[in-house]
């Protein structure tokens, strides 16, 4: 079974631009979560989608948004990029919306904002 | 609210020596505990999980962890490490009614010295 696929692996953008990251979950998984990983802040929860509905949201500004499609694939968008948005963005999927269901992570998208 | 503390940011250890990576959590509700490993330029891979039952949990690659409710700890151990165990290790907690929002520690960088 294929794992979680994130595209692209690397992105370089300029301040003020916007970016869209894509995530394809493991087949059959209906929940997709997004995390931001930085050396200073570690792993921080962005949001989680289940059956095309946002179920949970972390403490990030409105510039960060996401969506999930009917095939469970998900995208996240960051508008008006800032230097501090440079990070590894990780997508994770799980079969359902349950707190005891382990997350399965993709290899991430490395975003660099210049 | 939940939080996770990984007491050691860096742990150097000689090859074939035992290692313990410490993790403490705080939570006001029932918790589920996880250890993940991250190799360079990759996402997080599940090592083991505690959901319920026996407090000693065995995972992949010879790792094990013990859930101690009274000390709110979930330390990771391996009796004999290999060079290939060099990686970043993250402890994570989720709890009742949080859906798939996991709270991660800041990570412990394990370096195995030949």
Query: Average pLDDT of A87-96?
Result: 93
Residue of higher predicted confidence among B11 and A97: B11
Q: What is the pLDDT of residue B98?
A: 66
Chain B residues with CB inside 8 Å of A23's CB? none
Burial of B41 (0-12, 13-18, 19+ CB in 10 A): exposed
Q: Is A26 part of the contact surface with chain B (CB cutoff 8 Å)?
A: no
Q: Which of B46, B51, B99 sits opposite A56 (nearest CB)?
A: B99
Is B84 in contact with B20 (CB distance < 8 Å)? no
Q: What is the mean pLDDT of chain B?
A: 92
Is residue B99 very low, low, confident or very high in pLDDT (cuts 50, 70, 90)? low
The conformational region for residue A2 under phi > 0 = left, psi -120 to 50 = alpha, else beta, is: beta
Closest residue of chain B to A38, computed from CA coordinates:
B106
Which spans in chain A are helix H? none
Cα–Cα dist B101/A55, whole Å: 10
Query: Average pLDDT of A74-90?
Result: 97
Query: Average pLDDT of B59-69?
Result: 95
The verdict on a CB contact (< 8 Å) between B96 and A107 is no
Q: Rg of the Cα trace of chain B?
A: 14
Which of B 24-63 lie inside 8 A of A, CB atoms? 32, 34, 36, 41-46, 49, 51
Instruction: Give residue-wise pLDDT tens across range B15-56.
Output: 999 999 999 998 767 788 999 999 988 899 999 999 888 889
């Amino acid at each position: 079974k294929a794992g979680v696929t994130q595209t692209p692996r690397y992105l370089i953008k300029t301040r003020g631009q916007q970016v869209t990251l894509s995530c394809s979950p493991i087949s059959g998984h209906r929940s997709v979560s997004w995390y931001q990983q930085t050396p200073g802040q570690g792993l921080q929860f962005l949001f989680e989608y289940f059956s095309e509905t946002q179920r949970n949201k972390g403490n990030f500004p409105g510039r960060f948004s996401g969506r999930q499609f009917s095939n469970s694939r998900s995208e996240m968008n960051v508008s008006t990029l800032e230097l501090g948005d440079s990070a590894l963005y990780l997508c994770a999927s799980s079969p359902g919306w349950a707190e005891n269901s382990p997350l399965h992570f993709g290899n991430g998208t490395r975003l660099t904002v210049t | 609210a939940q939080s996770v503390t990984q007491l050691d940011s860096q742990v150097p250890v000689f090859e074939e020596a035992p290692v313990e990576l410490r993790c403490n959590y705080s939570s006001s509700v029932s918790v589920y505990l996880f250890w993940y490993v991250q190799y360079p330029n990759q996402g997080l891979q599940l090592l083991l999980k505690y959901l319920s039952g026996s407090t000693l949990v065995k995972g992949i690659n010879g790792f094990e962890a013990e859930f101690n409710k009274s000390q709110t700890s979930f330390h990771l151990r391996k009796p004999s490490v290999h060079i290939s165990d060099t990686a970043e290790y993250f402890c994570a907690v989720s709890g009742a009614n949080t859906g798939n929002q996991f709270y991660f520690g800041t990570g412990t960088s394990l370096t195995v010295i030949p």
